[in-house]
Structure 1
């Protein structure tokens, strides 16, 4: 692992896959065909890309398939899923906002109405893989927000089935509208609708570059969560940091993707050298060591700063997706951290704790976007409407000023619309 002396222009070497021109053109073609041909196009692409032959009857997951999935999932797994669901739900319930209304002294009523989205689509990567955490993290905030219709899509295996754990997790959350479709075609079906799938208002969930491009292209027809890049972790540590813990946590992100980024920032050069050595030791026994090695080689680094304060500055420049703080007094640094998607405080707060179980959402801003964006949350599944009821007194007191402001922008009809009310207030005074 490279050990680098910190300079003021520190940056994670990031890799953002925006897709090639050919990939974008292919996605545009898929979306166009789904929009015009509906279910027929979706099922044709499912056969082409996933090798699964589906018809109108087998396209949607049946109640029988949901029931059968439980027979394949052991009780311990089910217990863990349910406990994780409760933890994640409790965390997100604290994010709920309420509609509010206030009355001003002049009788004007102002407020904000919070309304959940009507329908949300969740994309879950599939095939032989199982990603129950994706379902929990994307669905729970929508459920807490009050979204009435949640649709799940996931690419099937060649035998036309979805993963049993995925089905059980969805059912535990009350999601029963589930379709065997993946890729750009599934995104198109959610955005535009088909004979079977009614369109949604927002699409969330991770996927490959074709899914990411499709979400980007349908944005505006629907809302999306984000254009996510490869995963990244930064560990901020002082001399009290344990090299074995830190190395393990860096590798927990490196095994995600060859383009994932794993970085240590520390003022302690001895720790830097120990962590670098420990990473190599632990790498040798990882099942996904080839992936993790590519990540560490190309996108990993240890930055050595002069002071802990300088290390904090470096972290804020990096604006990482995940930040772990392994210092003598981690909470003392919390107020100084301005840019991070999720902050893990103390040596026992390993990043996977947040990925799966503790409660905070693991859908986080990547590629430095933590400078201006937040983890997926309940607000992402609501919309806000302003409430305004102007009183007669307020019109009388402020109407002339409003009309003058309108004329300042050259909008005479705006000014006259207010002045019509002023005529009314003068008539009232005359009476």
Structure 2
């Protein structure tokens, strides 16, 4: 079912490894040309375009673009008590972890009379995207909303695709469980808009006169976060600059570094858990144990046949983005892990903590036999919005920091400015920007420059 890449006996550079390792084909650049007219349509026609695009892409015309408060309350009231309890625990644990990420202003005294303060200021308004499609993602509501709230973002809006399967009071709106999660977290600005058009709606804002309760105005946001399909990623790329973005999320991926001590059933179950997201999902096993690889292959045959989304899982596991990578030892395995830079990385080896400590590139690391990725998806307290496609080598997952901006506040007295003025003037002249130096010289109390000449250049 899964292809095998045998790297035993080979010493490869990071560049060579990246060329050999399995990876999903995810051409965001090509998709940009598809979403460009969609985004421009929303820019120019606003709500009218959003209604038409919802009907075109989601198979249902939204009842109203903004979900009424009464519908959100009904979704929460009708939520299965066990699902509500699970969501509340997920929120509780996420808040515990994300509260520890709070940033505090710091002031550094550079010299007497000269100081720099770093202030952490939340963005004013954020658009949070929650995907629809093959699965229902109330957990993504939690992962986006909790860190934004803790960061102190003053205005939050959620967008999620309308579901054509919905009936009754939920007809033309996002999935009721997603709506319930929004209500549970106190988010009452929710829009029945999906895909690239949702990103454009957040970027440009719109006014909807079709609301029975009067006109609805969606103000533009400063930042858009949350996972989505390739068209959501392409819209983020196209509109970056108009808005800030968290990342261009691609298909989900799991890599498992395992030795012969790992339980084959654990490994296969975890590979399947990510493969059930999407036929393009990537599941990669990296091991120095051919015996484990064989055991996992045998277990997969039985487990895939029995799982609910068997066809989807089989397609993902047999795709070019998935596979088993055989290595000589864990040292070589770590080289593969760091070259691959997985969204989710599991370490199922002896002394897993020590091995995990040597990982440099991963969105999130799950250590030992009792920390599966699915725990992180829902209730570990960690965030599941993570970098994909190898971006973990330079990017982080969603956190409180994602919603904050560090701003330097500079305070200098005249004496402190005078002390350093000659250096500023020297560097300004070296860069052929003399007015920079003059802006310092003009502030000297007696009007003389740092080199003894007058400020106007006429000499002593």
Q: Alpha-carbon deviations, 1:57-110, whole Å to 9, x = none?
A: x32111211221134212111111101001011111111111111334421021
1:66 aligns with 2:67: no
Aligned with 2:27 (options 14, 18, 22) = 18
1:145 aligns with 2:151: yes
1:92 aligns with 2:113: no
1:303 aligns with 2:325: yes
Q: Does the CA contact (< 8 Å) of 2:345 and 2:365 recur in 1?
A: yes
Structure-2 separation of matches of 1:317 and 1:51: 41
User: Against the structure 1 CA distance between its residues 214 and 352, is the aligned structure 2 distance closer, same or farther, given a 3 Å change threshold?
Assistant: same
| Structure 1 residue 425 displacement after superposition | 7.4
Aligned with 1:212 (options 227, 233, 237) = 233
Q: Alpha-carbon deviations, 1:22-66, whole Å to 9, x = none?
A: x544422222221122222212222333343446xx321112112
Tell me what 2:3 maps to.
2
Q: Does the CA contact (< 8 Å) of 2:118 and 2:409 recur in 1?
A: yes
Tell me what 2:57 maps to.
49
Matches within 5 A, 1:221-236: 221-236=242-257
Structure 1 residue matching 2:361: 3-state secondary structure: coil
Aligned with 2:38 (options 20, 30, 37) = 30
Aligned with 1:172 (options 159, 184, 188) = 184
User: Against the structure 1 CA distance between its residues 304 and 387, is the aligned structure 2 distance closer, same or farther, given a 3 Å change threshold?
Assistant: same
Tell me what 2:298 maps to.
277
User: Against the structure 1 CA distance between its residues 203 and 309, is the aligned structure 2 distance closer, same or farther, given a 3 Å change threshold?
Assistant: same
Structure-1 separation of matches of 2:229 and 2:437: 52
Tell me what 1:421 maps to.
443
User: Against the structure 1 CA distance between its residues 16 and 4, is the aligned structure 2 distance closer, same or farther, given a 3 Å change threshold?
Assistant: closer
Q: Does the CA contact (< 8 Å) of 1:266 and 1:303 recur in 2?
A: yes
**Consecutive unaligned residues in structure 1, runs of 5 or more:** none
| Structure 1 residue 118 displacement after superposition | 0.7
Q: Does the CA contact (< 8 Å) of 1:128 and 1:157 recur in 2?
A: no
Q: Does the CA contact (< 8 Å) of 1:319 and 1:340 recur in 2?
A: yes
Tell me what 2:117 maps to.
111
Structure-2 separation of matches of 1:98 and 1:127: 39
Structure-1 separation of matches of 2:24 and 2:135: 24
Matches within 5 A, 1:186-197: 186-195=198-207, 196-197=217-218
Structure-2 separation of matches of 1:20 and 1:116: 30
Structure-2 separation of matches of 1:405 and 1:19: 43
User: Against the structure 1 CA distance between its residues 168 and 424, is the aligned structure 2 distance closer, same or farther, given a 3 Å change threshold?
Assistant: farther
The 10-residue stretch of structure 1 (12-21 or 330-339) with the greater mean CA deviation from structure 2: 12-21
Structure 1 residue matching 2:308: 3-state secondary structure: coil
Q: How many residue pairs get matched? A: 426
| Structure 1 residue 316 displacement after superposition | 1.3
Structure 2 residue matching 1:321: 3-state secondary structure: strand
Structure-2 separation of matches of 1:407 and 1:273: 69
Structure 1 residue matching 2:283: 3-state secondary structure: strand
Structure-1 separation of matches of 2:278 and 2:430: 55
Backbone CA RMSD of aligned residues:
2.1
User: Against the structure 1 CA distance between its residues 398 and 215, is the aligned structure 2 distance closer, same or farther, given a 3 Å change threshold?
Assistant: same
Structure-2 separation of matches of 1:262 and 1:371: 18
Aligned with 1:155 (options 147, 161, 166) = 161
| Structure 1 residue 134 displacement after superposition | 1.0
1:83 aligns with 2:89: yes
| Structure 1 residue 423 displacement after superposition | 5.5
Q: Does the CA contact (< 8 Å) of 1:16 and 1:367 recur in 2?
A: no
Structure 1 residue matching 2:218: 3-state secondary structure: coil
Q: Alpha-carbon deviations, 1:329-356, whole Å to 9, x = none?
A: 1111232111111100111111100011
Q: Does the CA contact (< 8 Å) of 2:255 and 2:342 recur in 1?
A: yes
Matches within 5 A, 1:246-257: 246-257=267-278
Tell me what 1:125 maps to.
131
Please give the TM-score of this superposition, normalised by the length of structure 2: 0.88
Matches within 5 A, 1:374-393: 374-393=396-415
Q: Does the CA contact (< 8 Å) of 1:127 and 1:156 recur in 2?
A: no
Structure-1 separation of matches of 2:130 and 2:448: 62
1:412 aligns with 2:434: yes
